[in-house]
Homo-oligomer: A and B are copies of this chain.
Amino acid sequence: MLTMSTCVVYPVFVARARPARPRKHPLVYHHGNLRRALLDEALTTIRDGGVESLTLRAVGARLGVSRSALYRHFADKRALVSAVGAEGFRLFRTQLTAAWERAGRGRAGFEAMGIAYVQFAVTNPSHYRVMFGGFLDPNGSDPDLLNEASRTFHVLVDSLAEQQRDGLVRQGDPRQLARFVWAVVHGVATLAIDGQLETMKASPDELARFAVEQLRTGIARRAHSTGPA
């Protein structure tokens, strides 16, 4: 637990456990922007080699800083990765709404958003995995991450609710519909980035388009009832 607001008075007269070593290099401080620098460095490291490749020592070394300097700005490694995940959700949400708006909302906008979803995952696999991969428990300690994930989900809910008002999507709890739609695109995305589609000899984009098509005929309001099951 990090207590930031308490003022700690350090005792000055303590028995020296070890003698002080002479310093080879002068100390260089980052002064204030180290937190941001650590975050950026973690971001590019994860982008290039995945979460597994992220080591605090390497991040520190690349920034010319001790391996434990990080602990002044993040509680631990998890907290650093959480911050990267939260940033990922912000970028993700921007791209989803952009696709939705650019295609003029409605049916075309919804399909464009589905394609954009899978494309984000395929383009940023490491980032996507941090956000969803179970490395972070979403009910965990970071409220920022939780908030960003929740806001992203509501982009989908709002889109579906609007389409219901316009008669493009059949009635029902928009949150329930949104969960189903999310599961579909999330399924395509994770199969794609985990290389499972190659086993099945399929391209991510092709499957994404097919999935969005099937999704539409599944949730679209139909002119003729097919009768009870």
What residues of chain A have their CB less than 8 Å away from a CB belonging to chain B?
A: 129, 132-134, 137-139, 146, 149-150, 153, 175-176, 178-180, 182-188, 190-191, 193-200, 202, 207, 210-211, 214-220, 222-224, 226-227, 229
Contacts and interface: CB of A to CB of B under 8 A. Distances in A.
A153 B217 CA distance: 24
Contact of A138 (B129, B138, B196): B196
Nearest to A176: B210
Contacts of A215: 218
Contacts of A197: 179
Given A187-B184, A187-B188, A200-B153, A129 B134 contact: yes
A25 to B, nearest CB: 36
Given A133-B134, A139-B195, A146-B199, 11 more contacts: A132-B190, A132-B194, A138-B199, A153-B200, A182-B187, A183-B184, A183-B207, A184-B187, A186-B190, A187-B190, A218-B218
A210 B175 CA distance: 12
Nearest to A223: B226
Oligomer copy total: 2
A222 B211 contact: no
A152 B198 CA distance: 15
Contacts of A188: 183, 187
24 contacts: A129-B134, A133-B134, A134-B194, A134-B195, A138-B194, A138-B199, A139-B198, A139-B199, A149-B196, A153-B200, A175-B200, A179-B197, A179-B202, A179-B210, A180-B210, A184-B187, A187-B188, A214-B219, A215-B218, A216-B229, A218-B218, A222-B226, A223-B227, A224-B224
B207 A179 contact: yes
B150 A193 contact: no
A215 B187 CA distance: 14
